[in-house]
């Protein structure tokens, strides 16, 4: 027999349709290969700015999600009790009219009785617009339990954050520090970046209790004790200051380091000294006289204080130095708590100094700053940093993120070559963001956007009687800067009627009855809890999902969405766009195939509901519907004059002007996205670079240049402290005064995670964490036949010392106990792990009957959620108050503060707790797959 | 390795079958007429049923004929060809003896040679696999041949010879186990050579998939030491020792022989099960098998 | 033709960088996606939504821990697919000739129409690179995307294996390891690429780049932190001196 003849050039597909992936929120470009009108193969789009052709495991398995047996098929009305999963399919007309019959009266009487919360959809500029038109103050997305600490600390400190709003200068950086990241939103860009660094032999340092993924390939691993990064970072700052290894020129020109801090006793003490027009003042080195920070040609002086009317006012830098030079910040004094030896901390500080100051890189690109000062070169300090939920998902996360940014800024590594760079529309200072709006009026739209940044007590979302205006208690004294809302408190508060009761809970794309919630077991009970009369405590629940999730079973009315390949979506500059540091970009999804079920894109459904409810912005004067569907809205909605959802193919080219009527076709021709590159001279120093500011105005990010200074010193926090000290008319409740004084500090003070103060660390000595598996997306990956073979169950990973101490071997079972719950789960040994930390993969565990999986599926029998152990409230302290388990500044859910103890036990038949089964509203799944459309 | 019953049945039955046919081939005994028919019938029944059983584990049995093409390099292909040749030759010898033209010497010896070769080629399928160090050893062909001849001898009613061969085969079996237990270590293949990782003790952290796969089912099969030891004792006793003793002390009779045979087959099935179940495939190393796990 | 062809000039294969692989499994599903739709029968999954989902994959990512005598443990993500060995035992054991090594580029393939699914080749492979498909009953293995790498219906730049094209970290490299000057060969030379299980004598074409040394002591750099000040006042003193050296002062 001879070598068989092979066809080496088989046809690949009939057609390629280019759209945007949605197996996660990274939004990579995909080429969908179509054969006989069906999806045959999905690969990355090489031209796309986000992924340049690569795809992750989820994206490449998209075909299995698109064809999942768990896809909902039609609108449904609940027939059984909540949680049972018993539904009847109904028509869209019936579904929409039911929704209207619930919502219209609410809007007429009291819009705040609607709570509308969404998950990680990418249409928040649209959903918030809808909620604003409806008039309820109760709107937010998942950010509050996700990473608001990261976003808020970044925006308030430097007008832009990690998360997906910035990126290292992958091309040039020589040293990359990554804190508390397992996967990130920027899934592929980070992998591509690390690959690029490895290729160049740049050094990667991972700070993380767990050494997997990025931390496994890192050249150095700092297996830090959870919750103590603030100590580590402050120690690095201490050591660098002591050695004078900071970028003085950068600090003087671009930060509020030279600004003077008011030293006068009284209601202005600790605020920045300002001129009549409210402009912070600096001493001009040329003349020694006081000048506004942004005056033409000013050379701010870092050290010179100024004595006025007998009081000596010191500069921010002066205050900062006194704070960080305190011996408590020395490496020796944090080594034990952080679990990092002092010499390694100092070694890291030295490495930072060496790379930033002895390996500086210079681009010969002249540029001009906002003071008209021309710089001949762009000087880069090639140290880049990135951080995510490992830092932010702690109750001290905000100040830890602040410390990290201050470290970056002291080294002069932000917005410089080789450092950390913002992605347009960032940089955008806090002052350019809205303040929260919350005043609900019967039958009226809200007076402005829900979310934003309070600048002081006067901006808090409080009613006249001082009670919270929002159901989630965002923007209150408990957490003034809760810029993303506090979705994790909604169900608990609505159930408790605290601060008030709601009528309808409207959820979109968030599995709140499961992995999205803390304290899952109880949340399921709250959702199905009834009063004496047998009425549900939360009277009505409307939910839009695309798949048969756990949350579906707890809703009364289901509005089934399409899959990501079957609808229009808009990844807008008004929302969370796909920009790169060197370019502005936005993108769409479009129906590359038509749904074979009676489902509708949720945004189109909202457009329809908006029209039926007669919401302003959704109807014409004559009351007729303004938009046919979401596609129509995307092209024709006007947010500000000349500004719409998509920046591409508008009459004035760069992002402003009339949208061309065939805008969507242009996007499709262009591969589903639009991109506009930042001019070379505008590429760095963006917050201060006149060229960038001009370009940003042209492109429509703002209507006038917005240069600003980085806030080493965070004045807004000081305003809350002043209130806590008794100044001003709006006063915090007594029980919060001390906490506000000690946690809302204008310079970052590290404090232990809040629970540590309340629970006995000695009784619960072990930290328990979760990580994102790179090949799974929260709960929704488990319906994917390929991905669930990779992560079908999740052991609890236990470090060597604890395995030995508890006499454990792989496959043994333990009771994992937190102050308010217990789970029984299997363990596996892991050596590359912080010795006081156990962890598991996130959201693998499933409820029986969900996701079209067999009730005996390993996800339900061996997989588990850590969430049962994490409470949305801090343990009661006998004051009758409900203290949320959140960061005191932002309300960020403190997932990773969890402490547990562990005891060996004999293996039960299944993991515990079991949460009963839901009947599956979708047809049985196939018994074998041999996937192919040939 | 996963002990597939079809394969176990095949190798044991056909082994004995070819053993018997070999004895008949060399004309010892050289029965005539009906007696010859009976003897050969038994031989063929065992050999053929074994061969048929072996097709059960094929994914595509309907293509089995293709297996005759690659005798140049493949022991499995050689086995197939040799088996057929052996059966044809033995068939002709049989016809001659049944229809009274007596035992044709050349033909018979040829048949016998092919029967032995068949058994050896079967064993070489296993013995030639470097990936299974326990098999990759001279004791493997010796083992297959030993048991085949012993079983054959008994079937051929050579009581004393059978008894001796049972003891010899038992000895080979012991040798196979003793050498086998250190085979993986001696092969030099470890998780370290499998991964090339240096600088410390290497252990498997997570399997690639939480779901099982063909490899884990087919090649990462493990039996507990204690369990295996018990089975070894039972297997060896039944397969070799007890039959031998029976034949040596009990008065020679069909009953004794029958008992011995029954006992032998039982034992052989057990040892053959162990032959697979105890065999460590090096791919197991990648899946964390065959390396002492410590917490 | 089960006998191995004479060693080919061109030796197509993969180079896998263990220092860069983050263990994301992208190459696993990209491989599954391409190969279920292309070469030979689809890659089947049994009980895909049930208690024991199990399917055919041509590429899987293991992970191993290395525990040094003293010092912290390391974790290594370890991709594994067919290594397209020069002395491929999986080829010579095949009774039907279905398993063969291409004479022109050394790619090892299974002719699925000739395979009887005896599984002997899977036994003969030390690396676990062959899996019997539960539905088709034939052996499936990495094809090195033979239907991509020469495919004229694909743009030039896409004529690489699906796993290589998708790898976000760029940890997978494809090329001709028979040519000492090829990019992959040079990479192997620079980084000291290795064979897996050399003692098995299979002469793998695929090469693995070992992880770079990790966690080297940092404290040697400490001298860079010579203190300029211990107290805030001391610091301000230093600051004034330092500032006087900066441009933009009184003129
Ligand atoms: N594949 C995949 N990608 C995803 C998601 C997904 O589900 N799957 N989810 C998306 C979403 S919603 C989000 S929010 C992002 C989140 O992206 P990540 O922030 O990467 O999310 P986590 O997996 O929670 O990672 C938290 C990391 O912080 C570490 N950690 C925990 N506590 C500490 C600490 O105190 N200090 C330090 N230094 N580290 C600590 C944990 O070990 C873990 O590695 O991922 C997004 N991307
Ligand atoms: N223990 C622990 N818990 C955590 C975290 C953690 O780190 N540890 N992380 C937290 C964080 S940061 C986040 S963001 C949350 C994420 O948790 P969730 O927001 O619940 O994320 P998913 O599980 O992906 O669920 C989203 C829901 O959207 C549905 N869905 C998927 N695609 C579509 C679609 O196209 N349309 C519609 N309408 N619905 C769709 C899915 O079916 C699913 O029911 O988890 C939080 N929970
Ligand atoms: S990271 Fe993966 S899942 Fe997320 S968008 Fe990109 S390809 Fe899709
Ligand atoms: S895609 Fe690349 S990084 Fe991811 S697992 Fe495969 S080889 Fe490793
Ligand atoms: S890796 Fe295994 S299957 Fe691939 S050529 Fe080598 S022996 Fe054959
Ligand atoms: S399974 Fe197929 S390819 Fe493998 S040896 Fe048997 S016939 Fe050859
Ligand atoms: S080369 Fe092709 S077949 Fe082989 S592992 Fe990569 S994608 Fe799979
Ligand atoms: Mo999130």
Per-residue pLDDT tens for A266-284?
Answer: 999 999 999 999 999 999 9
Tens digit of each residue's pLDDT (9 = 90 or more) over B34-64: 999 999 999 999 999 888 888 888 999 999 9
pLDDT of residue A38: 97
Tens digit of each residue's pLDDT (9 = 90 or more) over C57-77: 999 999 999 999 989 999 999
Q: How far is residue A248 from each of residues A253, A360, B245, measured CA to CA in Å?
A: 9, 15, 97
Residue A459, helix vs strand vs coil: helix
Q: Interior CA angle at A368 toward A362 and A374, to 5°?
A: 80
Q: Are strands B201-206 and C207-209 parallel, antiparallel or unpaired?
A: unpaired
- Model confidence band, residue B292 (pLDDT cutoffs 50, 70, 90): low
- The closest of A570, A583, A697, A584 to A644, measured between CA atoms, is A570
Smallest CA–CA distance, residue B47 to chain C, in Å, is 19
From ligand 7's centre to the CA of A62, what distance in Å?
18
Q: Is the pLDDT of residue A371 over 50?
A: yes
Listed by number, the residues of chain C in 61-90 with a beta carbon closer than 8 Å to a beta carbon of chain A are 63, 65, 67, 72-77
Average pLDDT, whole number, for chain B? 94
**What integer is the mean pLDDT of A773-790?**
98
Task: Considering only the beta carbons, identify the residue of A40, A286, A925 that sits closest to C49.
Answer: A925
Is the CB of residue A774 below 6 angstroms from any atom belonging to ligand 1? Answer: yes
Tokens of C209: 């780049």
State the SS3 of C145-195: CHHHHCCCCCCHHHCCCHHHHHCCCCCEEEEECCCCCCHHHHHHHHHCCEC
- CB-based burial label for A274 (10 Å; 0-12, 13-18, 19+): middle
Q: CB under 8 Å to A308, separation ≥6 — which residues?
A: none
Q: Given an 8 Å threshold on Cβ–Cβ distance, is A774 in contact with C249?
A: no
Orientation angle between helical segments B254-277 and B5-25, nearest 10 degrees: 130
Q: Is the pLDDT of residue A426 over 90?
A: yes
Tens digit of each residue's pLDDT (9 = 90 or more) over C132-148: 999 999 999 999 999 99
Q: Is the pLDDT of residue A518 over 60?
A: yes
Tens digit of each residue's pLDDT (9 = 90 or more) over A733-743: 999 999 999 99
What's C12-209's CATH class? Answer: alpha beta
Chains touching chain B, criterion 3+ CB pairs below 8 Å: A, C
Task: Considering only the beta carbons, identify the residue of B70, B131, B209 that sits closest to C124.
Answer: B131
**What integer is the mean pLDDT of A788-794?**
98
Is the CB of residue C81 below 6 angstroms from any atom belonging to ligand 7? Answer: yes
Tell me the domain boundaries of chain C.
12-209
Report percent pLDDT > 90 for chain B.
Answer: 86
Q: Is the pLDDT of residue B294 over 50?
A: no
Is the CB of residue A779 below 6 angstroms from any atom belonging to ligand 2? Answer: yes
Chosen for mutation from A191, A214, A299 (greatest number of chain C CBs closer than 10 Å) is A191
**What integer is the mean pLDDT of A786-806?**
98
Q: Which of A44, A55, A587 to mutate to test the pocket of ligand 3 (most atoms within 8 A of CB)?
A: A55
CA distance C94 to C76: 34
With CA atoms as reference, the chain A residue closest to B209 would be A790
Q: Is the pLDDT of residue B71 over 70?
A: yes
pLDDT of residue B293: 45
Tens digit of each residue's pLDDT (9 = 90 or more) over B146-190: 999 999 999 999 999 999 999 999 999 999 999 999 999 999 999
Residue C30, helix vs strand vs coil: helix
CB pairs under 8 A between A and B: 29
Is the CB of residue C60 below 6 angstroms from any atom belonging to ligand 4? Answer: no
Is the CB of residue A771 below 6 angstroms from any atom belonging to ligand 1? Answer: yes
CA distance A350 to B246: 84
Cα atoms found within 13 Å of the Cα of residue A779, Cβ hemisphere only: 31
Buried b (16+ CB within 10 A) or exposed e, A850-872: bbbbbbebbbbbbbbbbbbbbbb
Q: Is the pLDDT of residue A361 over 80?
A: yes
Is the CB of residue C61 below 6 angstroms from any atom belonging to ligand 4? Answer: yes
With CA atoms as reference, the chain A residue closest to C145 would be A8
- The closest of A282, A128, A136, A171 to A637, measured between CA atoms, is A128
Q: Which residue has the tokens 């926090």?
A: A717
pLDDT of residue C218: 87
pLDDT of residue C249: 66
pLDDT of residue B95: 94
Average pLDDT, whole number, for chain A? 96
pLDDT of residue A34: 98
Q: Given an 8 Å threshold on Cβ–Cβ distance, is C196 in contact with B196?
A: yes
Contacts of C97 in chain A (CB under 8 A): 1
Q: Given an 8 Å threshold on Cβ–Cβ distance, is C249 in contact with A302?
A: no
Listed by number, the residues of chain C in 140-199 with a beta carbon closer than 8 Å to a beta carbon of chain B are 194-199
Tokens of A102: 């619930």
A762 or B291: which leads in pLDDT:
A762
Q: Is the pLDDT of residue C56 over 90?
A: yes
Cis preceding linkage at A427, omega within 30? yes
Contacts of A788 in chain B (CB under 8 A): 211
Contacts of B206 in chain A (CB under 8 A): 828
Range name among A304-318, A406-420, A800-814 with the lowest pLDDT average: A304-318
pLDDT of residue B102: 86
- Asked if the C-beta of C111 comes within 8 angstroms of chain B's C-beta atoms, the answer is no
pTM for this entry: 0.97
CB distance A444 to A135 below 8 Å = yes
Element (H, E) at A342: helix A342-353
Task: Considering only the beta carbons, identify the residue of C61, C116, C131 that sits closest to B58.
Answer: C116
Task: Considering only the beta carbons, identify the residue of B60, B80, B193 that sits closest to C199.
Answer: B193
Q: Given an 8 Å threshold on Cβ–Cβ distance, is C128 in contact with B212?
A: no
Q: Is the pLDDT of residue A138 over 70?
A: yes
Q: Given an 8 Å threshold on Cβ–Cβ distance, is A788 in contact with B211?
A: yes
Q: Given an 8 Å threshold on Cβ–Cβ distance, is B295 in contact with A808?
A: yes
pLDDT of residue A734: 96
CA of residue A891 relative to chain centroid, distance: 13
From ligand 2's centre to the CA of A118, what distance in Å?
10
Tens digit of each residue's pLDDT (9 = 90 or more) over B96-155: 999 988 888 899 999 999 999 999 999 999 999 999 999 999 999 999 999 999 999 999
Query: E strands, A744-802, where?
Result: 766-771, 796-799
Q: CB under 8 Å to B237, separation ≥6 — which residues?
A: B267
Average pLDDT, whole number, for chain C? 95
Tokens of A158: 């430097």
CB distance A576 to A583 below 8 Å = no
Tokens of A652: 């004035």
Is the CB of residue A21 below 6 angstroms from any atom belonging to ligand 3? Answer: yes
Is the CB of residue A776 below 6 angstroms from any atom belonging to ligand 1? Answer: yes
- Model confidence band, residue A338 (pLDDT cutoffs 50, 70, 90): very high
Q: Which residue has the tokens 């990209």?
A: C30
Tokens of A134: 């409806």
Report percent pLDDT > 70 for chain A.
Answer: 100
Q: Is the pLDDT of residue A759 over 80?
A: no
Q: Is the pLDDT of residue C220 over 90?
A: no
Q: Given an 8 Å threshold on Cβ–Cβ distance, is C97 in contact with B66?
A: yes
CA distance C35 to C161: 10
Tens digit of each residue's pLDDT (9 = 90 or more) over A539-568: 999 999 999 999 999 999 999 999 999 999
**What integer is the mean pLDDT of A664-678?**
97
Chains touching chain A, criterion 3+ CB pairs below 8 Å: B, C
- CB-based burial label for A362 (10 Å; 0-12, 13-18, 19+): exposed
Of the listed ligands, the closest to the CA of C197 is 5
Tokens of A854: 């067999």
Q: Whose CA is nearest to atom 4 of ligand 6?
A: C121
CB pairs under 8 A between A and C: 325
Q: Is the pLDDT of residue A586 over 80?
A: yes
């Amino acid at each position: 027999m001879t070598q068989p003849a092979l066809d080496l050039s088989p046809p690949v597909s009939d057609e390629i349709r280019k759209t945007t992936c949605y197996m996660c929120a990274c939004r990579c470009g995909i080429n969908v290969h179509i054969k006989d009108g069906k999806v045959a193969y999905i690969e990355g789009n090489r031209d796309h700015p986000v992924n340049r052709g690569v795809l992750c495991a989820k994206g490449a398995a998209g075909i299995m999600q698109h064809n999942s047996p768990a896809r909902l098929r039609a609108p449904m009305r609940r027939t059984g009790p909540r949680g049972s999963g018993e539904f009847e399919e109904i028509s869209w007309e019936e579904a929409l009219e039911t929704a209207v019959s619930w919502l219209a009266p609410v809007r007429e009487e009291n819009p705040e009785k609607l709570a509308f919360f969404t998950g990680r959809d990418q249409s928040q500029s649209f959903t918030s617009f809808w909620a604003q038109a409806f008039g309820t103050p109760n709107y937010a997305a998942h950010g509050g339990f996700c990473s608001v600490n990261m976003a808020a600390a970044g925006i308030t400190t430097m007008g832009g954050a990690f998360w997906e709003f910035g990126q290292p200068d992958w091309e040039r950086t020589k040293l990359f520090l990554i804190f508390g990241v397992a996967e990130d939103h920027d899934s592929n860009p980070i992998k591509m970046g690390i690959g690029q660094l490895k290729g160049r032999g740049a050094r990667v340092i991972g700070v993380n209790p767990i050494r997997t993924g990025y931390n496994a390939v890192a050249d150095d691993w700092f297996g830090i004790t959870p919750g103590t990064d603030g100590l580590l970072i402050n120690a690095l700052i201490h050591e660098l200051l002591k050695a004078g290894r900071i970028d003085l020129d950068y600090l003087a020109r671009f930060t509020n380091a030279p600004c003077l801090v008011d030293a006068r006793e009284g209601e202005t003490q600790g605020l920045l000294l300002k001129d009549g027009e409210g402009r912070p003042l600096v001493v001009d080195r040329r003349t020694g006289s006081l000048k506004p920070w942004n005056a033409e040609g000013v050379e701010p002086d870092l050290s010179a204080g100024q004595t006025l009317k007998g009081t000596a006012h010191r500069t921010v830098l002066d205050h900062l130095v006194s704070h960080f030079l305190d011996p408590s910040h020395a490496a020796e004094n944090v080594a034990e708590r952080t679990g990092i030896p002092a010499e390694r901390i100092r070694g890291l500080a030295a490495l930072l100094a060496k790379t930033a100051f002895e390996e500086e890189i210079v681009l010969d690109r002249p540029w001009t700053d906002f003071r008209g000062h021309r710089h001949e070169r762009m000087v880069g300090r090639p140290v880049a940093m990135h951080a995510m939920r490992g830092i932010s998902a702690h109750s001290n996360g905000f100040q830890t993120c602040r410390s990290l940014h201050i470290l970056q800024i002291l080294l002069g590594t932000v917005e410089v070559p080789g450092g950390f760079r913002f992605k347009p529309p960032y940089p955008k200072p806090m002052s350019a963001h809205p303040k929260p709006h919350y005043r609900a009026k019967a039958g009226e739209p809200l007076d402005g956007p829900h979310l934003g940044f309070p600048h002081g007590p006067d901006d808090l979302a409080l009613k006249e009687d001082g009670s919270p205006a929002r159901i989630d208690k965002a923007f209150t004294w408990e957490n003034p800067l809760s810029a993303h809302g506090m979705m994790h408190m909604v169900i608990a508060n609505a159930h408790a009627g605290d601060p008030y009761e709601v009528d309808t809970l409207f959820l979109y794309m968030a599995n709140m009855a499961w992995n999205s919630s803390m304290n899952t077991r109880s949340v399921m009970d709250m959702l199905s809890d009834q009063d004496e009369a047998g009425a549900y405590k939360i009277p009505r629940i409307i939910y839009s999902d695309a798949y048969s999730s756990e949350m579906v079973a707890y809703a009364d009315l289901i509005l089934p969405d399409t899959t990501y390949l079957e609808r229009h979506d808009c990844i807008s500059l008004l929302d969370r766009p796909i920009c790169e540091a060197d370019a502005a970009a936005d993108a769409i999804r479009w129906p590359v195939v038509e749904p074979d079920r009676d489902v509708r894109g949720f945004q189109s459904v909202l457009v329809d509901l908006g029209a039926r409810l007669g919401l302003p912005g959704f109807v014409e004067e004559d009351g007729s519907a303004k938009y046919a569907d979401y596609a129509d809205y995307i092209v024709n909605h006007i947010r500000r004059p000349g500004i719409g959802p998509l920046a591409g193919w508008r009459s004035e080219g760069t992002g402003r002007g009339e949208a061309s009527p065939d805008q969507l076709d242009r996007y499709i021709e262009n591969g589903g996205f639009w991109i506009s590159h930042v001019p070379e001279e505008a590429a760095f120093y963006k917050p201060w670079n006149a060229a960038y500011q001009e370009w940003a105005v042209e492109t429509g990010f703002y209507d006038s240049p917005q240069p600003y200074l980085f806030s080493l010193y965070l004045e807004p926090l000081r305003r809350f402290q002043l209130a806590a000290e008794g100044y001003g008319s709006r006063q915090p409740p007594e029980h919060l005064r001390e906490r506000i004084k000690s946690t809302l500090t204008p310079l970052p003070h590290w404090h232990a995670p809040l629970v540590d103060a309340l629970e006995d660390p000695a009784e619960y000595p072990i930290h328990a964490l979760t990580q994102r598996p790179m090949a799974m997306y929260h709960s929704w990956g488990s319906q994917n036949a390929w991905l669930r073979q990779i992560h079908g169950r999740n052991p609890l990973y236990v470090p060597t010392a604890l395995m030995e101490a508890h006499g454990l071997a792989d496959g043994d079972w333990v009771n994992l106990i937190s102050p308010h719950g217990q789970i029984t789960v299997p363990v596996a040994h892991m050596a590359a792990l912080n010795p006081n930390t156990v962890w598991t993969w996130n959201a693998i565990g499933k409820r029986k009957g969900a996701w079209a999986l067999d009730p005996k599926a390993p996800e339900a029998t061996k997989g588990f959620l850590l969430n049962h152990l994490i409470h949305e409230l801090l343990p009661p302290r006998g004051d009758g108050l409900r203290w949320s388990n959140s960061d005191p500044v932002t309300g960020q859910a403190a997932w990773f503060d969890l402490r547990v103890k562990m005891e060996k036990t004999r293996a039960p038949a299944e993991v515990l707790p079991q949460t009963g089964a839901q009947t599956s509203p979708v047809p049985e799944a196939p018994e074998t797959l041999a996937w192919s459309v040939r | 390795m996963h002990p597939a019953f079809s394969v176990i049945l095949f190798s044991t039955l056909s082994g004995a079958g070819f053993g018997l046919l070999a004895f008949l081939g060399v004309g010892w005994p050289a029965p005539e007429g009906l007696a010859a028919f009976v003897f050969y019938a038994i031989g063929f029944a065992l050999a053929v049923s074994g061969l048929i059983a072996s097709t059960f584990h094929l994914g595509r049995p309907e293509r089995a004929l293709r297996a005759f093409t690659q005798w140049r390099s493949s022991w499995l292909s050689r086995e197939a060809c040799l088996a057929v040749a052996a059966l044809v030759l033995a068939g002709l010898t049989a016809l001659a003896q049944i229809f009274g033209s007596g035992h044709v010497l050349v033909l018979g010896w040829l048949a016998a040679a092919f029967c032995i070769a068949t058994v050896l080629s079967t064993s070489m399928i296993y013995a030639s696999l470097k990936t299974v160090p326990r098999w990759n050893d001279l004791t493997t062909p010796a083992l297959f041949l030993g048991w085949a001849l012993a079983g054959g001898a008994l079937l051929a009613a050579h009581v004393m010879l059978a008894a001796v061969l049972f003891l010899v085969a038992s000895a080979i079996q012991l040798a196979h186990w003793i050498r086998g237990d250190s085979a993986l270590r001696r092969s030099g293949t470890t998780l370290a050579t499998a991964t090339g990782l240096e600088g410390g003790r290497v252990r498997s952290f997570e399997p690639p998939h939480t779901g099982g796969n063909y490899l884990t089912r087919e090649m990462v099969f493990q039996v507990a030491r204690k369990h295996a030891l018990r089975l070894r004792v039972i297997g060896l006793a039944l397969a070799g020792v007890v039959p031998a003793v029976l034949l040596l002390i009990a008065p020679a009779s069909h009953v004794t022989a029958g008992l011995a045979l029954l006992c032998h087959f039982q034992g052989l099935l057990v040892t053959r099960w162990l032959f697979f179940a105890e065999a460590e495939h090096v791919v197991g190393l990648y899946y964390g098998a065959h390396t002492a796990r410590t917490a | 033709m089960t006998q191995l062809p004479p060693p080919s000039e061109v030796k197509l294969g993969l180079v896998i960088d263990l220092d860069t692989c983050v263990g994301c499994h992208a190459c696993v599903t990209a491989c599954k996606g391409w190969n279920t739709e292309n070469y030979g029968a689809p890659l089947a999954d049994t009980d895909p939504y049930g208690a024991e989902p199990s399917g055919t994959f041509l590429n899987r990512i293991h992970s191993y821990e290395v525990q040094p005598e003293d010092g912290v443990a390391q974790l290594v993500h370890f991709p594994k697919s067919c290594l397209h060995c020069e002395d491929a035992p999986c080829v010579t054991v095949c009774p039907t000739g279905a398993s063969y090594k291409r004479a022109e580029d050394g790619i090892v393939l299974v002719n699925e129409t000739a395979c009887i699914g005896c599984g002997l080749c899977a036994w003969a492979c030390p690396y676990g690179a062959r899996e019997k498909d539960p539905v088709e009953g034939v052996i499936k293995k990495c094809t090195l995307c033979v239907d991509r790498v020469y495919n004229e219906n694909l743009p030039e730049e896409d004529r690489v294996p699906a796993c290589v094209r998708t790898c976000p970290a760029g940890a997978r490299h494809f090329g001709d390891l028979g040519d000492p000057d090829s990019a992959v060969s040079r990479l192997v030379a620079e980084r000291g690429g290795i064979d897996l299980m050399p003692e098995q004598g299979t002469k793998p074409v695929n090469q693995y780049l070992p992880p770079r040394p990790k966690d080297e002591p940092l404290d040697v750099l400490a001298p860079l932190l010579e203190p300029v000040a211990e107290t805030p006042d001391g610091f301000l003193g230093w600051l004034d001196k330092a500032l006087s050296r900066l441009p933009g002062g009184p003129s």
